[in-house]
Amino acid sequence: MKRTLALALAAATAFAVGLTSTVVQANTPYELAIGSLAPDGSPWRELLEEAETRIEKNSGGRINVVLRPAGFMGEVEMVQETRKGERLQGCGTTTAAIAQGGNIPQLQLVELPFLFRNNAEADHVLDAMFDEFGGIMDRRGFKLAIWSENGWRSFGTRTKAIRTPADLQGMKMRSQESDVHMAMYKAYGATAVQKPMTEVLTALNSNVIDGLDNTALFMQAGGLGEPLKYFTLSRHIYQPAAIIYSKRWYDGLPADLQTVVLDVKDLGTKGRKMIRAEEGAMMDNWSFFGVEVIELSGAEREAFAKPARAMHDSFAATIDGGPALLGKIRGKINEKR
Per the model's pLDDT, the better-predicted residue between 3 and 258 turns out to be: 258
Q: How does residue 335 score in pLDDT terms, banded at 50, 70 and 90? A: very high
9 Cα distance to chain centroid:
20
Share of the chain above pLDDT 70, in %: 92
pLDDT at residue 247 is higher than 50: yes
Q: Which domains does the chain have, with CATH numbers?
A: 3-336 (3.40.190.170)
Q: Are 100 and 111 in contact (CB under 8 A)?
A: no
Q: How does residue 27 score in pLDDT terms, banded at 50, 70 and 90? A: low
Q: In the chain, what's the furthest Cα-to-Cα distance? A: 61
Report the b/e string of 112-137 with b at 16+ CB within 10 A: bbbbbeeeebbbebbeebbeebbebb
Per the model's pLDDT, the better-predicted residue between 8 and 181 turns out to be: 181
Q: Are 75 and 35 in contact (CB under 8 A)?
A: no
Q: Determine the average pLDDT of the residues in 204-222.
A: 94
